[in-house]
Structure 1
């Protein structure tokens, strides 16, 4: 009988240990789903001197120091939305009546670097706007799940209902934007203009500045699609058929294409735009737009001719038939413009576009475009850290509502480190 009692107590003891171990494992698993605060060797220290000179300080004895130091990793399961909004510093209130009355739509096409995407999104987020996120079908499953989880925390952020396997310079890139446009026209948000972005963009204008720019005399009822009549050097893109090797590259077939439909003059310009809602509806429904879209399927980089060509059609709402390169839509340092439009790239060139380093920021700020392109967090993290704080400080300085502490990405500290200015 004594042996039976001992066995029973031993069993209960072991059971208790097992329950304790399982509880610890469960708690750890749950807590791992929330991004943790980690000390960046760079971003949690005071900004470099090259950045400090760009950030307005209240005193010569203070320096800016980041408080937004969390490394945002992929979410393993549904995140805590209250934590996301507060700890990742999203601004959850309209900052002015002017912005609230002029909601914007954004199309963001992404495929990598979840943390950079989160930082872009929080920089442009406003509760009155609406955001369509297109995730490349080539993106890893954990990346797609993380973006979906994040979007689920906000009623005005959604994933595109149809996704493409995007190929550089392929028709799939244009189709991705159109997929989002079809979703956005069904959105309950009465947005006024739509702006397209990629995951390596970052804003230089605040939302208030953007609203004012879109409502200025030059652009109030017009589309912004910088470009010119197609130069001779670019005609190979549309005079010969091309085939898209999905997800890889685009190659010429050597077969001549028929002339463009409706006797359209083809233009060449940027793939980036700011379009009126009426123009988007025209692009989705008019026979001219549909025929041009079909004709463009076997061209090279059709997003660089489609929007600007359509915007030179007289009957298109908000068209700019005499327009050229007007519209300060992107700050980009092209390699072939070195010595003219800019004095060189302090980072590195990728596909002839500068990946910005911190030394490039004065040029970006002076140019005062809507967005700047491109940034990489791994190559030059200080550039994004610095521009992000410069932008958030400007946003909060312009706000017409009380500022919440969770909206701050950095604080001013005495050089001695003894106190915080705020």
Structure 2
């Protein structure tokens, strides 16, 4: 069992290094993307830190904007690069503030015994922003999210299919990743979602749920996440603190989000005791 990790970071370098150390296995491969907004010195420091690791690569930086297709595009590029250059069984995406709750040996054995695509999926409720949004979205030269012209609804563009949404964090099999970047249907859906709001939380789900059952799927991403509602349809992941620790470590889940070793070092140390015991 070999895992390809794709890690996206733009701040909190201490936590990024801590996360990589916690998930490192010489048999895995690691592809890092440091957002251009982090600055050249951030990227150079990361590159220097892993210069002698043959299984850790840093991508050319891109400017990733919240809510735009860039968040999907960089992941499809990562999948394409990893498929071209490495043999692996699972693609797992992480941010720089995600952290494992289980050892790599445990995670690999879990995926071997329970082969599936772990992708959080929900049907779109009536009135949800993904179901009702009729406008295109892109980013301007300054990288800002910009609303444009009206567009057809998903059902109008893909008769007989339904759109779905969920978390943008997942664990995908190699076969589904190959389907994502080679099949004509995901490419047609990519053309549609390229100008949709929050496409990273709906593109992957919609491709999976309209693939005709070709890929095994479990509707949970096995991440421990505590969400705070900041608007009618807006949820943000909370930074986990010691009050979450007992439930988090007892959850049986594989990863947690968000974890910050600079804010709660003792909690992260206790997680490490579980990982490296």
Tell me the TM-score normalised to structure 2 length. Answer: 0.88
Contact 1:356 1:374 in 2 (8 A): yes
Distance of aligned partners of 1:303 and 1:328 in 2 relative to their CA distance in 1, 3 Å threshold: closer
Residue 238 of structure 1, CA deviation: 4.7
Distance of aligned partners of 1:247 and 1:333 in 2 relative to their CA distance in 1, 3 Å threshold: farther
Residue 315 of structure 1, CA deviation: 4.6
Distance of aligned partners of 1:115 and 1:251 in 2 relative to their CA distance in 1, 3 Å threshold: same
Alignment correspondent of 1:104 = 3
Contact 2:14 2:262 in 1 (8 A): no
Match of 1:361 among 242, 245, 253: 245
Contact 1:223 1:311 in 2 (8 A): no
SS at match of 2:154: coil
Match of 2:63 among 159, 162, 165: 165
Which whole-Å CA distance do the structure 1 matches of 2:214 and 2:46 have between them? 34
Structure 2 residue 105 is the aligned partner of structure 1 residue 208: yes
Residue 361 of structure 1, CA deviation: 1.0
Alignment correspondent of 1:50 = none
Number of equivalenced pairs: 271
Distance of aligned partners of 1:380 and 1:247 in 2 relative to their CA distance in 1, 3 Å threshold: farther
User: What's the Cα RMSD here?
Assistant: 2.4
Match of 2:79 among 181, 187, 196: 181
Deviations 1:109-133 (A, max 9, x none): 1111222111100110101111111
Residue 384 of structure 1, CA deviation: 2.5
Residue 336 of structure 1, CA deviation: 4.3
Gap runs ≥5 in structure 1: 1-101, 338-349, 394-422
Match of 1:352 among 214, 217, 236: 236
Deviations 1:192-223 (A, max 9, x none): 1111000010000211221122123xx42x31
Alignment correspondent of 1:226 = 120
Alignment correspondent of 1:255 = 150
Residue 257 of structure 1, CA deviation: 3.2
Which whole-Å CA distance do the structure 2 matches of 1:371 and 1:237 have between them? 32
Residue 249 of structure 1, CA deviation: 4.7
Contact 2:125 2:131 in 1 (8 A): no
Residue 172 of structure 1, CA deviation: 1.0
Alignment correspondent of 1:288 = 185
Which whole-Å CA distance do the structure 2 matches of 1:267 and 1:311 have between them? 9
Residue 292 of structure 1, CA deviation: 0.7
Tell me the TM-score normalised to structure 1 length. Answer: 0.60
How is 1:193-342 mapped onto 2 (pairs within 5 angstroms)? 193-216=90-113, 219-220=114-115, 222-232=116-126, 233-235=128-130, 238-245=133-140, 249-253=144-148, 255-259=150-154, 261-263=157-159, 264-315=161-212, 317-320=214-217, 326-336=219-229
Alignment correspondent of 1:56 = none
Deviations 1:325-367 (A, max 9, x none): x335210111249xxxxxxxxxxxx963211112221111111
Structure 2 residue 19 is the aligned partner of structure 1 residue 120: yes
Structure with larger RCO (C-alpha < 8 A, sep 6+):
2
Deviations 1:148-169 (A, max 9, x none): 1123221111122x53201122
Structure 2 residue 148 is the aligned partner of structure 1 residue 148: no
SS at match of 2:31: strand
Q: Whose Rg is larger? A: 1
Residue 106 of structure 1, CA deviation: 0.6
Which whole-Å CA distance do the structure 1 matches of 2:220 and 2:54 have between them? 31
Residue 237 of structure 1, CA deviation: 6.7
Contact 1:138 1:247 in 2 (8 A): no
